Amino acid sequence: MLTLAGAGLATATRLVRTAVAEVDRTAYAEAARLDGARGTRLALRHVLPNALGPAVQGLALTTSGLVGGAVVVESVFDYPGVGRELQRAVAARDVPMVLGIATELAVVVLLVLLVGDVLARLLDPVGRTRR
């Protein structure tokens, strides 16, 4: 779990930092600075709400990648789980089991990506004003 968390945390941190830096360079953030917003107020009221959407989608992509990474980590560290069961099914040429596990993993990844897209839509400040 620490192996997956370390890799995921590094990627997630870079995604959030990139999204915040990109929004901080926009004309919107510059207008807020000219209007007198500084420090925490600028970050919480103007930059962060606009950076959350892309950051959430990036985090969803990272999380879906971690699902596949869990299969590898379970095999490497001989940890009982879906990855080890998939490895055993492949070794035994148990096609129905391999198809079932692959379908299960695909559904989990799709659900994570769907939740990420829905959250990004809900967190989009421009989308909130259109409703």
CA distance 97 to 12: 33
pTM for the model stands at: 0.74
**pLDDT of amino acid 104:** 93
Count up the domains in the chain and report the number.
Answer: 1
pLDDT, one tens digit per residue, over 5-63 is 787 788 888 888 888 888 888 887 888 888 888 888 887 787 888 888 888 888 888 88
pLDDT of 124 above 80? no
Question: Cα–Cα distance between 97 and 72 in angstroms, integer?
Answer: 18
| Of residues 53, 44, 64, the one with CA closest to residue 16 | 53
Contacts of 103 (CB under 8 A, 6+ apart): none
Greater model confidence, 62 or 126: 62
Residue 50's pLDDT is 81
The H-assigned helical ranges of the chain are 2-24, 27-34, 39-42, 48-76, 82-91, 95-123, 125-130
85/64 Cα distance (integer angstroms): 19
Alpha carbon distances (Å) from 83 to 50, 66, 75, 76: 37, 12, 6, 10
Range of the structural domain that residue 85 is part of: 2-130
Which of the four pLDDT bands, split at 50, 70 and 90, describes residue 107? very high
Q: What pLDDT digit, counting tens, does each position of 55-68 carry?
A: 888 888 888 888 87
How many CA atoms lie within 13 Å of 75's alpha carbon, on the beta-carbon side?
Answer: 13
The backbone torsions φ and ψ at residue 5, rounded to the nearest 5 degrees and listed phi first, read -65, -40
